[in-house]
Amino acid sequence: MSDSPTSPRPATVAVHAGRPDHTPDHPFSTPVTFASTYVAGGDLEYGRYANPTWTAFEDALGSLEGGRCLSFASGLAAVATILDLVGQGHKVVAPRHSYNGTVLQLADLEARGRIVVELVDLTDTDAVVKACDGASLVFLESPTNPALEVADLPPIIAAAHEAGAYLVVDNTFATPLLQQPLALGADLVVHSATKYISGHSDVLMGAIVTSDDELYDVLKKRRDLIGAVPGPMESFLALRGLRTLHLRVERAQSNAQTLVRRLAEHPAVGEVRYPGFGGIVSIVLAQGAIAADLLTHKTKLWVHATSLGGVESTFERRRRWKTEPATIPEGLVRMSVGIEDVEDLWDDLRKALDDLA
């Protein structure tokens, strides 16, 4: 048997990365540093450039994703910083069913003549590969929000690089526990840390991770200049949430898989969309938008809310947002399965669905 050391596994990394040294009388967890100003002459200099609480969070998430992490004030602040890399008039490829905020940012930049956008059907790998030709940036989600389409990442990454484009993966839904795009060759990973990373519906925060030191430096300079930085308390809470990411994802995924089997058999449900992993499920109600709206107001445990990835179960009809793509069914309900007892979740959901059948 080999005695050679092995790298810690993801669950261990989630618990231990980003902690202070084990020096006697040092705090066990990185404390919150509330500071906008530092004494000159060191590495910190000013509160827009660095904060020890950010650094602890960035060390932990970077270790999980296999790169160097930069934290941001929100997921969309991180997205905006990546899109800022694209040259004037250059082409960006993205899934047509990307997160609504990402699509709106792309549309805004295109309307102002900053970039050219090509939205693609992520399920058609050949079409996505073809679209990479002439692109400067390929911005993927896998699974997509809320259609839950999964990208065949290796050939798309290869095509993007052949075209000289950067390849980004929004890894918010999968988390680094279920998918590590950097290991597949992606240049950048982006997270809405508001969701699974923090996990308790009380933090607004984003992150970018890359294994490319040059890209890291460019993005950090953009963050420093724009000032899209997180607060120290948000960073502390996100890191504390990250410590239990593996437990929360495991339970949410187990619950989701149980619910998927039962939902597929319910007469009120016309379609179940589930990528086979993670805690997000989308269902399409057989009777359309009215039934979907009724469902989201009939439950007691399931909460009608627009965010996801928390310990509690939430859901919403996505087409209630006027800017959601018309290719998303009117009766689609995106469900963020929490960590409650699955039988309680099913009892609550089943009673509401029975009323609609």
Question: Where in the sequence numbering do the catalytic residues fall?
Answer: 48, 99, 170, 195
In 10 A of CB 299, how many CB atoms? 18
Which strands, in side-by-side order, build the sheet including 166-170?
Answer: 68-72, 206-210, 188-192, 166-170, 135-141, 90-95, 115-120
> Is there a cis peptide before residue 143, judged by omega within 30 degrees of 0?
yes
Q: CB pairs under 8 A, 24+ apart, for 300-305?
A: 300/348, 301/340, 301/344, 301/345, 301/348, 302/335, 302/345, 302/348, 302/349, 302/352
Amino acid (one-letter) located at 1: M
**CA–CA distance, 216 with 204 (Å, rounded to integer):** 22
**CA–CA distance, 283 with 296 (Å, rounded to integer):** 12
At residue 18, the 3 state secondary structure works out as: coil
Pairing of strands 68-72, 206-210: antiparallel
Place of tokens 């040059």: 214
What's the CA dihedral at 122, 125, 127, 129 to 10 degrees?
110
Are 143 and 116 a contacting pair, CB within 8 Å?
A: no
Are 71 and 57 a contacting pair, CB within 8 Å?
A: yes
Sequence-distant (6+) residues with CB within 8 A of 354 are 268
DSSP one-letter string for 238-252: HHHHHTTHHHHHHHH
Helix/strand/coil (H/E/C) assignment for every residue in 161-223: HHCCCEEEEECCCCHHHHCCHHHHCCCEEEEECCCCCCCCCCCCCEEEEECCHHHHHHHHHHH
